[in-house]
Amino acid sequence: MKALFPILLLTQLLSIPVQAAPQLQYTESVLSPGEGRLVTVDDYWLLAFSHTYLIRLSPQTVRTGQQLTIEVQRDAQWQQEPFQVEAISIHQDLCRLHARHPSQDGYFPGDTIYLQPCRMK
């Protein structure tokens, strides 16, 4: 009986339903609130580090393929930087502007701007 316990426990753990991550919907253009957060990713082979910055952007409509000039707050000062939008994903009222197109497994390897509230145009 004691020998069956680990097998029964493992079977029970494997039978627990797992909720899938929400599917991202890709779109060609969105209406932006004009401010959000930039998450930068530094990938060093086995390690990845991220940094989050407040940003402002002037166009209300953002399109895939568009070159933006964003204002990034670093060390309490606003600096202008370019940002190329390679893909736009949306889930409910959260939009993500991707500097690199996410891979099919949902991993976001590049810098991303998060905008909320946001909606498809």
Question: Tens of pLDDT along 44-53?
Answer: 667 778 899 9
Find tokens 């993500």 and name the residue.
96
Would you say 82 and 67 are in contact if contact means Cβ atoms under 8 Å apart? Answer: yes
From first CA to last CA, the distance across the chain in angstroms is 62
Would you say 114 and 41 are in contact if contact means Cβ atoms under 8 Å apart? Answer: no
| Residue (of 65, 37, 63) closest to 51 by Cα position | 37
Residues sharing a CB contact under 8 Å with residue 84, sequence separation 6 or more, in sequence order = 66, 67, 68, 99
When pLDDT is averaged across residues 64-70 and rounded to a whole number, the result is 95
Give the predicted TM-score (pTM) of the model. Answer: 0.76
